[in-house]
Amino acid sequence: MHFKPCAFLVASILAVMGAAVPVTSAPVPPPDNRKLARAIFEEIIDIPSTDTRGTTPVADALAKRFAAAGFAPADMRELTPPGFPHHADLVVRLKGRTQGKPVLWIGHTDVVEAKPEDWTLPPFRLTEKGGYFYGRGTSDMKNDDAAMAAALIRLRQEHFVPARDIVVAFTANEESGDAADGMQWLTHAHRELIDAAAVINPDSGGGAMQHGRRLYLGLQTSEKTYVTFTLEVTNKGGHSSQPRPDNAIYELANGLIRLSHFDFPVALNATTRAYFTKMALLQSGHTRADMLALAGAATDARAATRLSATTEYNALLRTTCIATMLAAGHAENALPARAEATIQCRALPGDTVDGVKKALVDALADPAINVSLAEPVAAGPESPPTPEIIAAVSQVSNSMWPGLPVIPVMDAGASDSVYTRAIGMPSYGVNGAFNDIDDMRAHGRDERLPVASFYEDVEFTYRLMKKLSGAG
């Protein structure tokens, strides 16, 4: 998953600022590191590391790169999870003076499947054309994998000794949703390898660009929890020629109508308060006043109601649940013996599954509608945007793109940060790659990334990796 900018945020920035930060040349790595980064990028893009074909070849290729750069075998662990012979996770460590727990960087090496017949260029071959790199994974997220590898190798070649260890984990199967052989497995089976004071996940956050101008750098500090419930009404059914009042479809439908009028209460956290504080500076009039009212210690109910009228803001203000699928009946001439609905919820960090379920039961207001959890839930708490992390990211960002706003964001989607947050490691999503918000191609046809953006991402990763790990 990569961070997708909020359209209203972008429109507000453009409307108020008039002209965002122009795209001018930014710092890039020295020539030898640029060459290395591109070689790694090409090598791993050319590997079709989909769920069915496996990620082990990517882990093997990266391990060889680190070994060639002088990393000792003891500082590299390539792990094959039980039951997943075609997948591997690679954990690499640059040792420091052990002044505190390490900083952990994480990135998945798997990609979404791509059919050659759907693309105009070969999906599993890095192609440079017209100022872009094309290929599956160029923006999600093999570009960041290459950036992390090149940055770590550069630090070692410079004989940099950080105050604390730097650990990078390249993991399997984020895209498939099967965490049994990826980040979740590492947190449970090999926590000693990846235990850290903080986590940086370049698979979220990052730069937004439009019409040739950089808009902002997103810093993902939390994500809503993906929770799916099944609603079910059952009865004895019967012949359609003899209808009864207890129709399963009608009963379920009436409950869904009641649910459609229900809103979860407004609840802000450190991330969303910081978000509205930053956003208010880009607004005017009532919108600015409402955002400042929400950014304060107390929640202003009237301000929240007005902002909730905007879909994107509403998703930031509360847990949401929405009906997404229906299934009922088995024959046109039979009364339905069963009616089901799928309810997809995105719960705020801190909201419990049991609490969300109780709210649904209360809103449905019908004991005949059974509410059950459709699948296990992975949830992690918010990682508050502390002054330290904001300052570090802002300093590095300003050294690359002076004047660019850094804005804390909460994602409605999910990333592997949910697993590191769940075991108590504050996790932050950020990267230095800028994509055009009107041309987001991750998971899609002809996925691509601007060539200049790739090299800037490599340099940003190097600078932030150095900054967060402490002086040599």
Pairing of strands 103-108, 427-428: unpaired
Convert the pLDDT of each residue in 331-347 to its tens digit: 999 999 999 999 999 99
Which pLDDT does position 280 carry in this prediction?
A: 86
pLDDT at 88 over 70: yes
pLDDT at 3 over 90: no
pLDDT at 10 over 60: no
pLDDT at 17 over 50: no
The length of the chain in residues reads 472
Give all strands of the β-sheet with 198-200 in edge-to-edge order: 76-79, 89-94, 166-171, 103-108, 198-200, 427-428
Convert the pLDDT of each residue in 29-81 to its tens digit: 999 999 999 999 999 999 999 999 999 999 999 999 999 999 999 999 999 98
Residue from 195, 187, 153 nearest 171 by CA: 187
Other Cβ atoms within 10 Å of 169 Cβ, number: 29
- Range list of H helices, 110-224: 142-157, 183-189, 191-194
CA distance 430 to 451: 19
CA distance 152 to 155: 5
Which pLDDT does position 179 carry in this prediction?
A: 57
Q: How confident is the model at residue 177 (pLDDT cuts 50, 70, 90)?
A: low
Confirm if 383 and 393 have CB atoms less than 8 A apart: no
In degrees, rounded to 5, the angle at the alpha carbon of residue 386 between the alpha carbons of residues 382 and 390 is: 115
Which pLDDT does position 18 carry in this prediction?
A: 46
Q: Could you tell me the two tokens for 200?
A: 């940086």
The contacts of residue 391 (CB under 8 Å, 6+ apart) are none
Instruction: Spell out a b/e string for 282-316, using b for 16 or more CB atoms within 10 Å of the CB, else e.
Output: bbeeebbebbbbbbeeeebeebbebbbeeeebebb
Query: How far out from the chain centre does Cα 247 lie?
Result: 42
Convert the pLDDT of each residue in 400-425 to its tens digit: 999 999 999 998 878 999 999 999 99
Which pLDDT does position 371 carry in this prediction?
A: 98
Mean pLDDT of the chain: 91
Give me the mean pLDDT over the 439-449 stretch.
Answer: 87
DSSP 8-state secondary structure symbol assigned to residue 257: H
pLDDT at 126 over 60: yes
Convert the pLDDT of each residue in 258-310 to its tens digit: 999 999 999 999 999 998 988 888 788 999 999 999 887 777 889 999 999 99
Query: Range with the lowest mean pLDDT among 128-137, 246-255, 274-283?
Result: 274-283
Query: Range with the lowest mean pLDDT among 147-156, 218-227, 280-289, 380-389?
Result: 280-289
Which pLDDT does position 178 carry in this prediction?
A: 61
Give the domains, in start order, of the chain with CATH numbers: 7-222+381-469 (3.40.630.10), 225-264+319-373 (3.30.70.360), 269-310 (no CATH)
Task: Dump strand ranges (E) for 302-430.
Answer: 320-328, 334-335, 338-347, 370-373, 406-411, 427-428
CA distance 369 to 230: 10
CA distance 171 to 366: 45
DSSP 8-state secondary structure symbol assigned to residue 429: B
CA distance 218 to 5: 8
Which pLDDT does position 262 carry in this prediction?
A: 97
